[in-house]
């Protein structure tokens, strides 16, 4: 089984976020980048298929040279090879178009993508990728087992979970639950050294017109001041909640 794991290069959630050019561009200065968490759950599950079922695992990213350290981390975790499509990832449709070419040329049986990336939170790439490649698709995936060409997946739905049976080729949009946080792997020194010798192929992009663009960014409003009320002054607390906060 050939597996391709899609890796998004995203800012660490602890990074301080700023914008430039009249709030029209993201300021990358001082920002630490990581593997998108939903993708990392998928990569860890792919490693299980590699170790238990002998699958081969490639990782792919659409982005510039600055994303290669993130791909190298994926290689250090255990992926066999990496692919970088050399174009900026700013539009979900264009990204899916680039990934579809990689999937078709590579003949992959299973494509594991994160349900969404934590930067743009579009949640559109896995579904469009499945449509472009003619593969089956399961999103919000929290469990996946494969036997031969048959797959059984569990996905989150409103108010519960749904178990579905399908077949390869398959694209999934994975998330926490596909593996647990305790299962995530930290690259060890041996993995880091081996990653330097693993192939990282750079591909030029195919023509793909971006269908969307970010016009401007806006930070969330700052939190308001906190009022402290003495624990014995219940009347004052009720008054503030009723007349000022208007929540009761």
- What is the per-residue pLDDT for 227? 86
Cα angle for residues 140, 91, 176 (degrees, 5° grid): 20
Q: Is 190 exposed, middle or buried (0-12, 13-18, 19+ CB in 10 A)?
A: exposed
Mean pLDDT for all residues in the chain: 94
pLDDT above 90 (res 213): no
pLDDT at 220: 85
Interval 149-194: pLDDT, tens: 999 999 999 999 999 999 999 999 999 999 999 999 999 999 999 9
Phi, psi of 55 (to 5 degrees): -70, 155
Reported pTM: 0.88
Domain boundaries, the chain: 2-217
In the predicted structure, residue 134 carries a pLDDT above the cut 90: yes
What's the pLDDT at 223? 82
Question: Which of 215, 218, 219, 220 has the alpha carbon at shortest distance from 24?
Answer: 215
> Tell me: domain 2-217, CATH 3.40.50.300, correct?
no
């Amino acid at each position: 089984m050939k597996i391709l794991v899609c890796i998004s290069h995203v800012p660490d959630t602890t990074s301080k976020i700023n914008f430039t050019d009249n709030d029209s561009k993201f300021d990358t200065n001082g920002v630490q980048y990581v593997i998108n968490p939903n993708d990392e759950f998928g990569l860890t599950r792919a490693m299980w298929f590699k170790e238990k079922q002998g699958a081969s695992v490639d990782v792919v990213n659409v982005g510039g040279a600055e994303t290669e350290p993130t791909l190298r981390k994926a290689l250090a975790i255990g992926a066999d090879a990496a692919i970088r499509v050399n174009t900026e990832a700013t539009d979900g449709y264009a990204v899916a178009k680039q990934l579809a070419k990689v999937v078709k040329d590579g003949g992959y049986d299973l494509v594991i993508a994160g349900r969404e990336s934590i930067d743009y939170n579009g949640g559109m790439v896995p579904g469009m990728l499945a449509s472009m490649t003619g593969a089956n698709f399961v999103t919000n995936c929290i469990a996946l087992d494969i036997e031969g060409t048959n797959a059984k997946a569990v996905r989150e739905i409103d108010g519960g979970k749904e178990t579905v049976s399908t077949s390869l080729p398959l694209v999934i949009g994975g998330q926490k639950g596909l593996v647990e946080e305790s299962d995530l792997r930290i690259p060890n020194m041996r993995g880091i050294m081996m990653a330097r010798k693993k192939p990282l192929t750079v591909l030029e992009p195919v023509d793909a017109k971006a269908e969307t663009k970010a016009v401007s960014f806006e930070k969330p409003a700052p939190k308001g001041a906190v009022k402290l009320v003495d624990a014995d002054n219940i009347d004052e607390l009720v008054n503030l909640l009723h007349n000022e906060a208007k929540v009761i």
